Structure 1
Amino acid sequence: MEKTWHRSLPLALSGGRGTLGTMETITPKEFRSSPGVEQWRAGRNGAVVEYRTGDFATGARLFAAITDLAQAADHHPDVDIRYPSLRVRLFTHSAHGLTRKDVALAQQISKAAGTLGIEAETRPQQRVMIAVATPDASRIMPFWKAATGYDALSEIELVDPAGRGPLIWMQSVDRPIGGRMHIDVVVPRESVEERVAAALAAGGVMADDSHAPNWWTLADADGHKLDITPARA
């Protein structure tokens, strides 16, 4: 189970479809339920897969195959090549969400990787989100959008147009929290308690464990807070 604030999103944002022009968006769940994309992880800011290439040359061969597929589809993913791995992120920028174009290209990329004998990383990967607590998202969203240069993904979410930075979302609260904000760190479920223990051993303090095991709120020596939460199954 992920942090319960996900459940409070309006239906149009969390469970329904949206349209922008002629491009219809799909939900992360609809993406994940499509055949041939079992290796991919999908969320509000795109679908991601990471391949264990083992060396840079193998990654380059996979990148070349992805390039050909992307050019043919006129749909271009974000690709990050490191020495032992290659990471792909799909997101339809013109629709501000996932679409069937992403599903089709993901299926083709998975097939190409299989042909090259390259396996996907099956362990859930860490991701970081920034949560800004506010009683009125519409009042502060313009500031955060302008200050960060991020694009609006929804009425409460901002996404890095380059696909590199963490998702920023406006967390609804009943009253202001003194201008303080926190960072959400989502880690594989089997590693979450180890991560909490490591943070405490490094000088952190437990600010609130009343929501555990859904999430733990920790603080550093200066009082800056951070939530560590397990990834959903």
Structure 2
Amino acid sequence: MENGAGRIGHGAATERVDARHWRVLLLWLQAAFRVPDLATGAAFVARVADAAERVGAAPDVTLRPGRVQVRTTTWASHGLTEADLVLADAVSAAADELGLTGAPELLTSQEIAIDALDIPRVAPFWRAVLGYEPEPGTDPDDPALADAVGLGPGYWFQQMDEPRPQRNRIHVDVTVPHDQAEARVAAALAAGGTLVSDRRAPAFWVLADAEGNEACVCTWQGRGED
């Protein structure tokens, strides 16, 4: 069953894809495959890329020792479309040709929710300190944030009615290249953040958004491992 903008419902997508490989997680259709070595994994990734070009899909593909993970969605429709399902069929066929087994038990999708009273005021800080971009199709005043290279978890903002009297109980560490740290800190401060402490810099700077939620910008430096 399709809904607005050509999207295919999660139930319909689940019924159509190969259950040995694929699962729907949030906006994504995802699969994980076990590979015996990096060379086989690379060959499989090449087949995924060829299939994506043929069907007009734009998947994220991750190659790691022993594993290849593929996830696909159609950002223009903010969900799954026929192109994603056709790609899934092609990827499953390529896996069978190479003798690869699926590992759906390895799949996961992570999001971090940040409580906020004034989301438009808080969101720019987190976009800057994480180096993220608004997820396509979300409200500019209430954006979900996504890692531009598709490796980190998603972030979203939960509307609060009352302020929290206590210090935040979730702390986010953002590790960046050592030569990018000061620029990242400056961007976060320019986006409305405050500097809580730079006592341990360049190992880490402690920052906070406009409502006191904290994050550290971290590097490998200053940790006695130079």
TM over 0.5: yes
Query: CA separation of 1:137/1:34 partners in 2, compared to 1, >3 Å: closer, same or farther?
Result: farther
CA distance in 2, matches of 1:58, 1:30: 32
Point out where structure 1 has 5 or more consecutive residues left out of the alignment. Answer: 1-15, 185-223, 225-233
Are the equivalent residues in 1 in contact too, given 2:35–2:66 (CA < 8 A)? Answer: yes
Q: Do 1:133 and 1:176's aligned partners in 2 also have CA atoms closer than 8 Å?
A: no
In the alignment, what sits opposite 2:41? 59
What residue number does 2:25 align with?
43
Letter of the aligned partner of 1:64 in structure 2? A
Name which of 139, 149, 152 aligns with 2:135: 152
Distance 1:143 1:160 in 2: 15
Counterparts of residues 135-146 of structure 1 (less than 5 Å): 135-145=117-127
Q: Distance in 1 between matches of 2:29 and 2:52?
A: 15
Q: Which residue of 1 aligns with 2:61?
A: 79
Question: What are the Cα deviations for residues 186-231 of structure 1, in whole angstroms up to 9, with x where unaligned?
Answer: xxxxxxxxxxxxxxxxxxxxxxxxxxxxxxxxxxxxxx8xxxxxxx
The alignment partner of 1:42 has SS state of: strand
Assess if the C-alpha contact under 8 Å between 2:132 and 2:145 holds in 1. no
Residue 86 (structure 1) shift: 0.8
* 1:56 Cα deviation after fit: 0.9
Aligned-residue offset at 1:126? 4.2
Query: Residue by residue, what CA displacement relative to the aligned partner does 1:50-107 show, whole Å, maximum 9, x if unpaired?
Result: 1000211211221122122112123231111112111111122333332221111011
Shift of the 137–32 alpha-carbon distance from structure 1 to 2, 3 Å rule, reads farther
Query: What is aligned with 2:112?
Result: 130
Alignment of structure 1 residues 202-221 onto 2, 5 Å? none
The answer to whether residue 168 in structure 2 is matched with residue 180 in structure 1 is: yes
Residue 146 of structure 1, CA deviation? 5.1
**CA offsets per residue over residues 137-187 of structure 1, 9 Å max, x none?**
455345444554322353452222322111111123332325736379xxx
Larger Rg computed on CA atoms: 2
Q: What corresponds to 1:120 in structure 2?
A: 102
Query: How many residues are treated as equivalent by the alignment?
Result: 168
Change (3 A) 1:130 1:32: same
Match of 1:104 among 65, 68, 86: 86
1:12 is matched with which residue? none
Partner Cα separation in structure 2 for residue 133 and residue 99 of structure 1: 32
Letter in 1 for 2:133: Y
| TM superposition score normalised by structure 2 | 0.61
Worse-matched range after superposition: 141-150 or 162-171: 141-150
Check if 1:169 corresponds to 2:156. Answer: yes
Matched-pair contact (CA < 8 Å) for 1:62–1:113:
yes
Query: Which amino acid is 2:158 matched to?
Result: Q
Q: Go from structure 1 to structure 2 and tell me whether the alpha carbon gap of 1:77 and 1:35 turns closer, same or farther (over 3 Å shift).
A: closer
Q: CA RMSD in A?
A: 3.2
Q: Structure 1 residues 28, 130: CA separation in 2 closer, same or farther (over 3 Å shift)?
A: same
What are the ranges of 5 or more consecutive residues in structure 2 without an aligned counterpart?
173-213, 215-226
How far has the Cα of 1:136 moved from its partner?
4.8
Identity among equivalent pairs (%): 30
